[in-house]
């Protein structure tokens, strides 16, 4: 455990992730749908692998995503930045930073206007 405050509690729900994509071969999507969760906030490692793959998968499942960029990391700064550029350019996720003042409690949900139209 990296930080004691982040330890799982007795009421936390756990999903065993077995691939880069947190949705693939897991109970994540039915769990989110069952809890009526419509918007996701994602962070983690590795930005250009697990994080980006999960965001792409969430996008394909119609979950709007906010990515906390300063709560992610990759093997190099360049790989991290490239992933952020791809996710932002294709509007797969809204990129935010905790250090820039992002506050989940005050965040507006991602609107349909921010979601690109797909052909």
Considering the domain boundaries, does residue 95 fall inside one?
yes
Nearest in space to 80 (alpha carbons), one of 110, 116, 43, 115? 43
Considering the domain boundaries, does residue 118 fall inside one?
no
Task: Give the structural domain span for 77.
Answer: 39-103
Considering the domain boundaries, does residue 77 fall inside one?
yes
Query: What is the value of pTM for the model shown?
Result: 0.86
Q: What is the structure's pLDDT at 2?
A: 73
Considering the domain boundaries, does residue 20 fall inside one?
no
Considering the domain boundaries, does residue 65 fall inside one?
yes
Considering the domain boundaries, does residue 61 fall inside one?
yes
Q: What is the structure's pLDDT at 111?
A: 60
Considering the domain boundaries, does residue 29 fall inside one?
no
Q: What is the structure's pLDDT at 6?
A: 83
Along the chain (119 residues), what's the average pLDDT of each consecutive run of 10 residues? 84 94 98 97 96 98 97 98 98 96 83 48
């Amino acid at each position: 455990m990296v930080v004691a405050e982040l330890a799982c509690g007795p009421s936390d729900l756990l999903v065993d992730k077995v691939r880069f994509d947190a949705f693939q071969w897991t109970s994540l999507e039915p769990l989110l749908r069952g809890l009526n969760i419509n918007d996701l906030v994602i962070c983690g490692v590795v930005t250009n692998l697990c994080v980006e793959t999960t965001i792409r998968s969430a996008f394909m499942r119609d979950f709007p995503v906010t990515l906390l960029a300063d709560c992610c990391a990759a093997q190099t700064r360049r790989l991290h930045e490239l992933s952020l550029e791809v996710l932002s350019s294709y509007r797969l996720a809204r990129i935010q930073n905790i250090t820039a003042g992002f506050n989940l409690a005050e965040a507006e949900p991602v609107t349909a206007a921010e979601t690109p139209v797909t052909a």
